[in-house]
Structure 1
Amino acid sequence: MSAVINKSKTAAPPTPTPNLLRILTVATLIGLVLVSVLAFYVAGTDIEQGEVQRLFYFHMPSFFGAFVAFSATVVGGIMYLWKREPKWDRLAVAGVEVGFALSVITLATGSIWARPIWNTWWTWDPRLTSAAIMVLTYAAYLMLRAGIDNPDTRRRFASVYGILAFATVLLTLFIIRFREDTIHPVVIGTSPQNAQGTFEATPGVVGALLPNLLFWSTLLPITLMWYRIRLENMLDWVNRQKMEALDA
């Protein structure tokens, strides 16, 4: 990931899109088409849940993509507090924004799935509640950044917040393992006693799920974060130009 971060301590002027990023972009677009075909056309229809089960080929992988992005925020926050280099703050904010978007996809697809299966758009299940708290926590991160004018103070506060906020990601990931009152389905591993809606009878589930997991947790978040880092570099450069013009 360090290769996609600007190596200078100050914002650099905009540069042409690197060839590697162009390749990643094409690979990401092709990958999105391929995993969608696997989810909608190759995997068999679930015997109990029907077509709506196909949402889980995006629902769970999008969460793991968010996990990767939020992990990048932790790395960026730790490195900024250590090195005080703005490039690490750019990585951190890129991770939050990409992870936030992917988390919203997770919540939205889960809610759409729940309507025909649980006969409700939302229930205060432990996993669902922790996921909602996670999304709101990172929304507050973005509000914190927007509310602090001083760049150094903003980066420092955001770094600490981004590191601590990762606790909500871990809670969402593991809560289903120690709360037996959940009704949320477990796709990988053993289910708690009361969990409902497994996919064991679905033909082709592994062949569709694993490529989606790989795509959503690697190509997609990395490509999006790289673009977001470049945008942040450009914004920093524009702000520097404005300050220099005012000082002139």
Structure 2
Amino acid sequence: MPATPAWPPKSAPRLFLPGEIGLGRTFGIEGNQANYLARVMRVGEGDAVILCDDVTGEWLSRVTQVDKRRVDLMVERNLKPRESVPDFWLCSALLKKDRFDLLLEKATELGVAAIRPLVTRRCVADKLNLDRARNAVVEAAEQCARTALPTIAEPVSLDALLRGWPDGRTLFFADENGGTPAASAFADSSGPSALLTGPEGGFDDTERAAIRAHPRAVAISLGPRILRGETAAIAGLALWMGIKGDWQD
């Protein structure tokens, strides 16, 4: 006999919704999300849609009606609770829009808990559209089946970041001038941590001295080559997740 198809299918579309989802609730999806379901994914009545709310976890729903501008869903059951992610932050200097978009997407996929943008002297960009950034994070989370969204803070200056740094959190500083090999520094660490990466032009000497003087900062090296800001962030996050994060779970 043929095997029974998995339900819900792995191809079922995924959406994050505002507010809490609960058993038996119904949702009328409109706007861009409705367009995605109806025109891109071409869902029909009875099809499965996976819903997440960043609070209660992941839920199975079924399509009950599809109109031109609206898709109605009914929640059937909880599939799994909201995941627990490692307490690791990314503190990245702002980059050009396309490069920062890439960083937001990959940081979300890699499992970072929080993204804290900062403005430094050599930043090409000095502003961030938070709504746009949050949409990028949500889309990345939907794509990679993540159920816990990373938080995104308003950009702050490097000075403000250092002044307000929490006492119990290690700040790994990706210094292009060198430091402890990242793998060794990560392996020897414990507790909450963060990775600090710079802008297109790097940190200037004054900024570098201020970071290195901070009592929670640990200068690290990400290898012998000079990396772009987004490459340094992605490489550092991947390495930390493999050594201290949840990749071994």
Pairwise TM-score range, normalised by the shorter structure: under 0.3
Q: TM-score scaled by structure 2?
A: 0.23
Q: Which has the higher helix share?
A: 1
Q: Which has the higher strand share?
A: 2
**Higher RCO (CA 8 Å, separation ≥ 6 residues):** 1
Q: TM-score scaled by structure 1?
A: 0.23
